[in-house]
A and B are shown apart, each in its own frame.
Chain A
C-alpha cells in the first residue's frame, strides 16, 4: 500500500509525471468543452430544446449526475492548475539570468503564453459560474425565469441566456475569454498527444492541424451565441 503511494508521489514529483497529469486532465476538459458547446448551441433550436436539455442535466440520476460531473470537472481543473503552476515556477527558476537577446524560432505566441491564457480562462470560468450557474448579482433564480415544459415547471434557460447576453459587457467578456480559449487550445490539444507519448512523425502534422481546427470550432461555436444575441438581436 505505502509502496504504491510512495511511487505515485514520486511520479507526481517528477517533471514528466506532472506533465502527464496536465495532459490527462486537459483531455478531460477538452472533451467537456465540446459537449458544453454542443449543448448550448441548442439555444438556436428554440426555447423548448434548450430548456429540456437543461432539465435533463439537472435531473439525470435523480439530480446526482450533474454533481458527479461537477466534482469530476472540479478535480480535473484543480489538478490541471496546481500542476501547471508548480511546473511554471520550476521553469522560471531554471533560468534566473535572462538573455540579453533571445529569439524564438518556431514556437507560437500561444504556446509561450499558456499560463496567461489559462489564468484568464480561470477568471472567466469563475465569472461564468457566478453568472449562469450560481446566478449571483442577477434575478435568474426568480420565478420570472421559470417556465412550463411538458406540464412540469423548469428553469427557463433560454430566457436567461438571451437576457444574459443582451448586456454588452457580458458578451464582450465572453468573446475575449473564448479568444483566449482558442489560443490555449491551439497549443494544448496537439501538445497533449505529445506529452502522452502518442505523437509520431506521421501523426505530428495531423495532430497540429486537428488542434487548430478544434480550437477554431470551439471559438466559432461558442462565440456564435453572444454574437447572435448581442449584435444580431436573436431571441429579442
Chain B
C-alpha cells in the first residue's frame, strides 16, 4: 500500500446561494481506499479541526443505488469507465494530482448542499409514465406471457439504469434523454408495456421537458459517462416511439366511444 498526497478542489454551496471551490490538501490517502472512503477521511479530518465537512450523497457503496452523484475531473463518476464513484478507487490517481470534485450540474438538479443535488425531477418523470398498470391480487403465472429471450435481454439492459443522473451531468445540454429513454424503452419493449405505450411515451417526454432538462443533440457523452453502459440506441427508440405516439394522438386521439366519449 502506498499513500497519496492530493490537492482537492471541492465545490461548496448552500441551497439558493452561489457556490465556490474550496482547496483542500488531502495528505496520506491510502491508495486502496475507494473515492468515497477518501472523502470520509478528508471529512473526519475537517471535523477534527472544527471545520465543516462537505456534504455528498452515498448509500449502497456497491455500485447499484445511483446515489453517489459527483463529477470528478470533469467526468461524472470520474475517469473509470462503467463505474460509479463508490466503486472508483484511489489507485487510479497519482500522488500530487489535483482532483476537481463538483456536483452534477443542471438547472433541473438544484444543489441542496455542496455535492448533493435534488434529483426529484427523475422521480416525477417516472411517476408520469414509468410504470405498468397491473391488476392486484394473486400472483400471475410467470410464463403466462411469452417473451422472446432477445426482447427480455434488451429490456434488462435498459432496466440496468440506476437513475444516477450521470447522463444529465455529462451532457453539454443537460439533457435527460438517456434516462427517460431507458425507463420508457424498458417497458415499451415488453408485452406488459404495450397497452400504455403511447400514453407513457408522451407523458414521460412532456414531464422531462417541463422539468427544464435540455435537448439531445446526439453527442453521446451520456453513453460514455453511464456507469451502467446504457446504449444511446434507447434514445433512437424513444425518438421513434414518440413520433408514432404523437402522430396517433394528433390524427386519431383517444379511442372512439359509442357514448360520445371524453
Give the B-binding residues of A (Cβ under 8 A).
Answer: 3-4, 7-8, 10-11, 13-20, 87, 90-91, 93-107, 111-112, 114, 187, 190-191, 194-201, 204
- Tell me if B243 and A111 are in contact (CB < 8 A): no
* CB-CB nearest in chain A for B232: A194
- Tell me if B75 and A94 are in contact (CB < 8 A): no
- Tell me if A204 and B233 are in contact (CB < 8 A): yes
Q: Which of B74, B106, B217, B238 contacts A111 (CB 8 A)?
A: B217
Q: Which of A90, A107, A187 contacts B214 (CB 8 A)?
A: A90
- Tell me if A191 and B236 are in contact (CB < 8 A): no
Minimum C-beta distance from B260 to chain A (A): 14
Q: Given the interface contacts A4-B251, A194-B236, does A18 sit within 8 Å of B9 by beta carbon?
A: no
- Tell me if A100 and B100 are in contact (CB < 8 A): yes
Q: Given the interface contacts A11-B246, A105-B75, A107-B221, does A198 sit within 8 Å of B205 by beta carbon?
A: no
Other A-B contacts than A87-B217, A95-B174, 18 sampled, CB-CB below 8 A, are A4-B251, A15-B175, A90-B173, A94-B108, A95-B214, A99-B74, A100-B11, A101-B74, A104-B172, A105-B225, A112-B172, A112-B219, A187-B218, A194-B232, A194-B236, A196-B239, A200-B236, A201-B231
Is there a chain A Cβ closer than 8 Å to B206's Cβ? yes
* CB-CB nearest in chain B for A16: B242
Is there a chain A Cβ closer than 8 Å to B40's Cβ? no
- Tell me if A198 and B217 are in contact (CB < 8 A): no
Minimum C-beta distance from B141 to chain A (A): 33
Minimum C-beta distance from A31 to chain B (A): 20
* CB-CB nearest in chain B for A112: B172
The interface residues of chain B lying within 8 Å CB-to-CB of A3 are 253
* Distance between Cα atoms of A13 and B172 in the complex (Å): 21
* CB-CB nearest in chain B for A107: B219
* CB-CB nearest in chain B for A7: B250
- Tell me if A91 and B214 are in contact (CB < 8 A): yes
* CB-CB nearest in chain B for A194: B218
Interface string of B210-246 (1 = CB under 8 A from A): 0011111111110111000001110111111111001
The interface residues of chain B lying within 8 Å CB-to-CB of A20 are 239, 243
The interface residues of chain B lying within 8 Å CB-to-CB of A200 are 233, 236
- Tell me if A94 and B218 are in contact (CB < 8 A): no
* Distance between Cα atoms of A195 and B236 in the complex (Å): 6
Q: Which of B21, B208, B225 contacts A15 (CB 8 A)?
A: B208
- Tell me if B11 and A87 are in contact (CB < 8 A): no
Q: What 10 A-B pairs are tightest by C-beta distance, nearest first?
A: A197-B240, A94-B214, A103-B74, A107-B219, A91-B173, A101-B74, A94-B174, A7-B250, A91-B214, A197-B239
- Tell me if B224 and A105 are in contact (CB < 8 A): yes
- Tell me if A103 and B243 are in contact (CB < 8 A): no
- Tell me if B233 and A114 are in contact (CB < 8 A): no
* Distance between Cα atoms of A216 and B205 in the complex (Å): 36
The interface residues of chain A lying within 8 Å CB-to-CB of B84 are none
- Tell me if B215 and A90 are in contact (CB < 8 A): yes
- Tell me if A16 and B105 are in contact (CB < 8 A): no
* CB-CB nearest in chain B for A193: B236
The interface residues of chain B lying within 8 Å CB-to-CB of A19 are 215-216, 239
Is there a chain A Cβ closer than 8 Å to B107's Cβ? yes
Q: Which of B105, B111, B241 has the most CB of A within 10 A?
A: B105
Minimum C-beta distance from A172 to chain B (A): 30
Minimum C-beta distance from B232 to chain A (A): 8
Is there a chain A Cβ closer than 8 Å to B57's Cβ? no
The interface residues of chain B lying within 8 Å CB-to-CB of A107 are 172, 219-221
- Tell me if B209 and A15 are in contact (CB < 8 A): yes
- Tell me if B237 and A87 are in contact (CB < 8 A): no
The interface residues of chain B lying within 8 Å CB-to-CB of A105 are 75, 170, 221, 224-225
Minimum C-beta distance from B196 to chain A (A): 18
